[in-house]
Chain A
Amino acid sequence: SQTIHQWPATLVQPVGSPLSLECTVEGTSNPNLYWYRQAAGRGLQLLFYSVGIGQISSEVPQNLSASRPQDRQFILSSKKLLLSDSGFYLCAWSVMTQDEQFFGPGTRLTVL
């Protein structure tokens, strides 16, 4: 069966520090991968998606970047965090021929 992992679960970082959040998927090949940010009262905002290794599409201009170094690994990064980067970050995957997305447990990021 397929599983999706995210770490860390919780992170507190100072403004201006770098960020690296990792997401890995097990039990499937060549998934579509997604990073979402969930802010209070704003639902889920799609940040990045990837349809293959090294293929990243950005949905909103921001302080963040994403990379996909391996088929089932998706990384969200920042060189210098801003206060506005605080939020709950969700990774998700889907199979090309299906529409349902499967979500990870999320990372709570607090930037102080």
Chain B
Amino acid sequence: AQTVTQSQPEMSVQEAETVTLSCTYDTSENNYYLFWYKQPPSRQMILVIRQEAYKQQNATENRFSVNFQKAAKSFSLKISDSQLGDTAMYFCAFMKHPPGTYKYIFGTGTRLKVLA
């Protein structure tokens, strides 16, 4: 069975600084997807970034980028130029490919606070 581990329950970062959230996972699958979701205080879950395991290039979305290390089963999220609006709970998620039922396995989350 797949598992996702986020070892940092809480983190804080100064506005405009860079922060990295860690995520490790365990799977015997070769093809899969990885995701980072953001849950702000409003509780609305929003997709931040996704990575397909067969792609070696790390995904980037504006200030958000990932460091995907397939052999190490590591999938960290880097937030550059942190903004107050980045304050949220961040969840790492795994999904097996082919998707089938598209079931996610979520980590326990990292609560990020951006300080002014």
The interface of chain A, by Cβ under 8 A from chain B, is 32, 34, 36, 41-46, 49, 51, 57, 59, 88, 90, 92, 94, 99-101, 103, 105-106
Contact = CB atoms under 8 A, between A and B. Distances in A.
Interface of B: 6, 9, 33, 35, 42-47, 50, 91, 95, 99, 101-109
Interface SS of A by simple majority: strand
10 contacts: A32-B101, A32-B102, A36-B106, A43-B108, A46-B104, A51-B101, A57-B101, A99-B99, A105-B43, A106-B44
B45 A90 contact: yes
B108 A42 contact: yes
Contact of A105 (B44, B47, B103): B44
A34 B105 CA distance: 13
B47 A100 contact: yes
A45 B106 CA distance: 7
B91 A94 contact: no
Contacts of B46: 103
Contact of B45 (A46, A59, A103): A103
